[in-house]
Amino acid sequence: MTNNNFAPVSRIANEGPRLQIKTCLALAIFTTMTSFASATPIELAKASFRLAAKETLLTKPQTYQWIRAAMSDSPSQRRANRNMPWLEIQNDSVDGVYLTEFHLTIGDERFHFANNYFENFTVISPTSEFQDIESKTTEDQNELVVMFDNGGLAPGQKVRFRIELAVDDDQTALLQQFAHPDFRTVLFDMNGIDAQGAFPFAPKSHHAEDNSSSYAVFKHGETVMQSTSATLPDFSVIGTAAHTFNQFYRNWRGAEEVNVFSGAVTAMVPEPDSFLLSTLGLALFGLVVGRRSSGTSERPTYGTHAAKYRRQNSRRQQLHTSFRHRKLRNPPK
């Protein structure tokens, strides 16, 4: 005959309404504190950048007069500009977050960042509002590292400099084809074409696999934050500009379209009080739920069974307990 009073039961059943009330209380505490934490502002570290063949596209207003002036250059000048494009970086972070480094990969590793024409890997513009930069590359020159001195680039500040691209020495075929590559065919593949392939205007079978990627390093007080990496897409280019690159020249007559290509990298970091509130909420939840109730105990083993039994603390239940049950509850030792 089964004695239901001594059947093994779960912890919640053992605790009964008391544990349920404690659990609900703990959940309420945890939910309230995490809601306060989620409502706390999040620090946003962001850097945006723009690429263009001409600096005036980055410094002058995008009006018809200035765009027309940028379009009216010689084919040789445009080719040189596209081999040494301008890069503008702006710190779009909230107050107190400084941009200390910017990293840019070459993407297509048949090429590299060069300093053949310039002494350094970057040439700062005289009109750049921030001037204190240093630059270097990795050993294979496939990644450009730009470092901002004097604490870094402050929120809202911009820096503008020029870079140079070159063909690797072991790429004989490309060197014979064109030794001064267009940045639109190295850092990304405009319109998804295979500019260095046998059919330069044909689309590539794969997209964005050899495109340039970038990330930034920020500093907020003593905290150093690294952004996620962002890969440049295959930007769309229309008109004459889509058919003039590398060894393909445009006609001397007429103008050629100009483009500005942009991207951004971000890093999001919770505020310290948000982390503390979440941690405190978890600690209280564990303390309330994990506390062992005084209403449970380990009973001796009867036969081959060992279980956790509920104490019968109610006087009414004890009064109605039969003599046979009392004997089972207090077996002879």
Its pTM stands at: 0.69
Given a contact cutoff of 8 angstroms between Cβ atoms, the answer to whether 227 and 266 are in contact is yes
Q: What pLDDT does residue 211 have? A: 93
pLDDT at 306: 43
Residue 34 has a pLDDT of 55
Predicted local confidence at residue 33, as pLDDT = 54
Provide the token pair at 69: 């002036």
Summarised one tens digit per residue, pLDDT across range 262-290 is 999 998 755 555 445 555 555 555 555 55
CB-count burial class (<10 Å; 0-12, 13-18, 19+) for 3:
exposed
Q: Is residue 214 a contact partner of residue 103, using CB atoms and an 8 Å limit?
A: yes
Determine the residue type at 47: A
Report domain extents, the chain.
Answer: 4-39+275-329, 42-270
pLDDT for 247: 81
- Report the SS3 class of residue 159: strand
Give burial (CB, 10 Å; 0-12/13-18/19+) of 233: middle
Tens place of pLDDT for every residue, the chain, 333 residues? 545 444 444 454 455 555 556 565 656 565 655 554 444 445 589 999 999 999 999 998 888 888 888 888 888 888 899 999 999 999 999 999 999 999 999 999 999 999 998 889 999 999 999 999 999 999 999 999 999 999 999 999 999 999 999 999 999 888 888 889 999 999 999 998 888 877 777 777 666 678 999 999 999 999 999 999 999 999 999 888 888 888 887 776 678 889 999 999 998 755 555 445 555 555 555 555 555 444 444 444 444 444 444 444 444 445 444 544 455 555 555
Residue 14 parent element (H or E): helix 11-15
SS3 299: coil
Q: In 3D, which of 263, 213, 191, 202 has the Cα closest to residue 108?
A: 213
Tokens of 41: 């502002």
Token pair belonging to 72? 């009216």
